[in-house]
Amino acid sequence: MIDCGILFAGFGGQGVLFTGKVMAYVGLILGKEVSWMPSYGPEMRGGTANCGVCISDKPVGSPVVVEPDTLVAMNGPAYDKFVDAVKPGGIVLYDSSIVHPEKIRDDVKTCSLPATALSAEKGLSGLANMVLLGRLFKEMAWGEIETLKTALKESIPPARQHMIERNLLAFKLGFAGN
Amino acid sequence: MAQRLLMKGNEAVAEAAIRAGCRHFYGYPITPQTEVAAYMSKRMPKVGGLFLQAESEIGAINMVMGSAAAGKRTMTSSSSPGISLKTEGISFLAGSDLPAVILNIQRAGPGLGGIQPSQADYNQAVKAAGHGDFKMLVFTPATVQEMCDCVFTVFDLTDKYRMPGMLLCDGLLGQMMEPVVFPEPVEGLPAKPWAVNGHRNARPGNLVNSLYLHPEALEARVRERFEMYKTIEETETQAECFMTEDAEIVVVAYGACARIARSAVTAAREAGIKAGLFRPITVWPYPKRELTGAAKTAKAVLTVEMSMGQMVEDVRAALEYKKPVEFFGRTGGVVPTPAGVLGEITRMAKGEWL
């Protein structure tokens, strides 16, 4: 049974909300109950941004992810702010190009990959978020890359559908990474 | 099956309003409601409707009055401080027997307050949406899907009873995305022979008016409306019960808070506590009979709100002050957590009343 809350957190401009949206679409395509809740405070403008995504077999109660099962930290402040909130046994995923944690919890599964460096190497700058999503997807073992492709198609407005391929490349980079 | 779309509450409710036959929308931006107006500005021209950004909330509600008087399905939306500005217009709608839908995506108050979710406009919506003796239909959906479904119902009921109706939501529902399946667009709206819309001398003229200089005439008209309100209280209440059949602790919550309370009730059941949730969908008319039924086995009742406690007074009154009714709430834009509600349920289950 699936019943999980995922918290995506980082700087505004890193695609935090978009990454969450793609994940929510994955849940929708899998036929689950889903919710996506952004932080919409003044902190969004140039500061930190985060969004909580719930994917469940049951109706979603509170859409606010207070104790995430999974944390995707895209910058240092996000890691520091939320790592202690993750449920024991949960997953913490971070971008090791820019997050250098002082504290690693031993009661959660911590994984990382240098998403920013990896994406820049392949000429996919700005798509570290998709690299992380690829890694997360692998960790969750929820489905095929096809599902992700459909989710991207739904998340990207019609005028920008040409972005799908680049996003997919970045996603595959994370999916293949370790 | 119709397609499940992932949409923000604010955008979904706007699309649903259009499908419910709304072709006149007057708005003014305010966080966390702005997406409603933004969506309307994009969609209305494509369906032959009118979107107009007024010069202020006061302008918008008075434009609503004009369109409503002309017999059109009309809507406006705002958030708490903006709704306060609209209250004069809402009273005029009620006094002129005009149907219109007002959407409040509540934020924290008083004053400019804050932009985070709140339910502190309950009393305003239910008890005093403007001056004078009148009532307004108030629906409190708890999901994006229900926001859409309720828009259809509110438009139908406001037309049926010729009175204003409100969707009382909050920033959480407005900003979150959830799957939604839209109802089919309505075809053929009810006739409004009372509308002031030009008749080329084909019939006697209609008059839309809220001024009665003779007290007896005004009293008679208000009494007629209150007879109608009585009918509405008897026939139009809506509520949902979740695990209340044998519940010893019944939690009462509406809107976004009901979702949080539901998580807490589920957790309480898993811990062996007989908890249940009563969720009013209409708060005027208040589902008193339904609540009395749901609380039959309750030793105590806990009301949860994003306010300092407003609906709790209606809960106590509905239960005729016969059961202990306690309150748990957060305010100022702080959203209560399921753990916070569960803590209260657990305490009360031990028989510890405050």
Domain match, B246 and B133 both: no
B160 & B259 share domain: no
Do B267 and B228 share a structural domain? no
Residue B202 lies in a domain: no
Answer yes or no: is B122 within a domain.
yes
Which of B302, B323, B304 has its CA nearest to residue B253?
A: B304
Q: Residue B96 above 60 pLDDT?
A: yes
Interchain contact, B177 vs A35, CB within 8 Å: yes
User: In this predicted structure, what is the pLDDT of residue A48?
Assistant: 81
Residue-wise pLDDT tens digits, B50-68: 999 999 999 999 999 999 9
- Gap between the Cα atoms of A68 and A88, Å rounded: 10
- Model pLDDT, residue B23: 98
The residues pairing with B301 across neighbouring beta strands, listed in sequence order, are B250, B325
Query: In this structure, what token pair is assigned to residue B168?
Result: 């009382």
Given a contact cutoff of 8 angstroms between Cβ atoms, the answer to whether B89 and B62 are in contact is: yes
Distance from CA of B75 to the nearest CA of A (A): 25
Query: Is the four-CA dihedral B262, B103, B191, B149 of positive or negative sign?
Result: negative
Interface residue A57 vs chain B (CB under 8 A): no
Taking phi first (over 0 means left), then psi (-120 to 50 degrees means alpha), and beta for anything else, what does residue B307 get? beta
Please give the pLDDT value at position A2.
79
pLDDT tens digits, B142-176? 999 999 999 999 999 999 999 999 999 999 999 99
Q: Domain tally for chain B? A: 2
**pLDDT confidence tier of residue B24, bands split at 50, 70 and 90:** very high
Measured between beta carbons, which residues in chain B are less than 8 angstroms from residue A62? 259-260, 263, 335, 337-338
Q: Are residues B130 and B271 in the same domain?
A: no
Domain boundaries, chain A: 3-176
Provide the pLDDT for residue A47. Answer: 73
Q: CATH number of the domain that B307 lies in?
A: 3.40.50.920
- Local structure of residue B21 (DSSP, 8 states): T
pLDDT one-digit tens code per residue, B316-344: 999 999 999 999 999 999 999 999 999 99
Q: Kindly tell me if the per-residue pLDDT of B247 is higher than 90.
A: yes
Residues of B with Cβ-Cβ distance to A66 under 8 angstroms: 337-339
Q: Is residue B145 part of a domain?
A: yes
Residues of chain B numbered 18-37 and touching chain A (CB < 8 Å): 31-32
- What pLDDT sits at residue B238? 98
The span from the CA of B246 to the CA of B298, in Å, is: 8
B218 is a domain residue: yes
Maximum CA extent, chain B: 73
- Interchain contact, B259 vs A63, CB within 8 Å: yes
| Same domain as B161, residue B49 | yes
pLDDT confidence of residue B270: 97
Residue B223 and residue B277 in one domain: no
Provide the strand spans (E) within chain B.
5-8, 24-27, 50-53, 74-78, 100-106, 137-139, 164-170, 177-180, 239-242, 249-252, 275-280, 282-284, 300-305, 325-329
Picking from B128, B126, B170, the residue whose alpha carbon sits closest to that of residue B147 is B170
- Strand, helix or coil at B178? strand
Are B273 and B226 part of one and the same domain? Answer: no
B6:A154 CB<8 A: yes
pLDDT at position A143, please? 74
Say yes or no: B84 and B185 in one domain: yes
Of A25, A38, A62, the CB nearest to B263: A62
Q: State the CB neighbour count (10 A cutoff) for residue B317.
A: 12
Among the listed residues B248, B235, B231, B345, the one whose alpha carbon sits nearest the alpha carbon of residue B290: B235
Give the model confidence (pLDDT) of B259-296 as tens digits.
999 999 999 999 999 999 999 999 999 999 999 999 99
Query: Is residue B187 located within the same domain as residue B78?
Result: yes
Tens of pLDDT along chain A (178 residues) come to 778 999 999 988 899 999 999 999 999 999 999 999 998 776 655 678 899 999 999 999 999 999 999 999 999 999 999 999 999 999 999 999 999 999 999 999 999 999 999 999 999 999 999 999 999 998 887 778 888 889 999 999 889 888 999 999 999 999 987 5
A135 touches chain B (CB under 8 A): no
Regarding whether B156 and B130 lie in a shared domain, the answer is: yes
Q: What separation in angstroms does the CA of A173 have from each of A19, A28, A98? A: 15, 24, 18
Taking the C-alpha atoms of residue B347 and residue B354, their distance in angstroms, rounded to an integer, is: 9
Return the number of other C-beta atoms located less than 10 Å from residue B352's C-beta. Answer: 9
B201 falls within a domain: no
Same domain? For B155 and B275 the reply is: no
**pLDDT score recorded for residue A13:** 85
CATH of A3-176, one of 3.40.920.10, 3.40.50.10070, 3.40.50.10680, 3.30.1330.40: 3.40.920.10
Contact in structure between B57 and B77 (CB atoms under 8 Å): no
Whether the CB of B179 is below 8 Å from some CB of chain A: the reply is: yes
**Scanning the structure block, which residue is given the tokens 């049974």?**
A1
- What is the structure's pLDDT at A43? 61
Tokens (6 digits) for A39: 């932080």
Hey, which residues 15-54 in chain A have their CB within 8 Å of chain B?
A: 21, 24-25, 28, 33-38, 40-42
The number of helices, as runs of H, and strands, as runs of E, in chain B is 12, 14
Asked if residue B94 belongs to a domain, the reply is yes
Contacts of A64 in chain B (CB under 8 A): 172, 260, 335, 337
Average pLDDT, chain B: 97
Residues B327 and B293 in one domain: yes
Residue B77 pLDDT: 98
Q: Are A93 and A73 in contact (CB under 8 A)?
A: yes
The rounded percent of chain B whose pLDDT value lies above 70 is 99
B84: in domain: yes
Task: Output the domain CATH number for residue B150.
Answer: 3.40.50.970
Domain that holds residue B317: 240-349
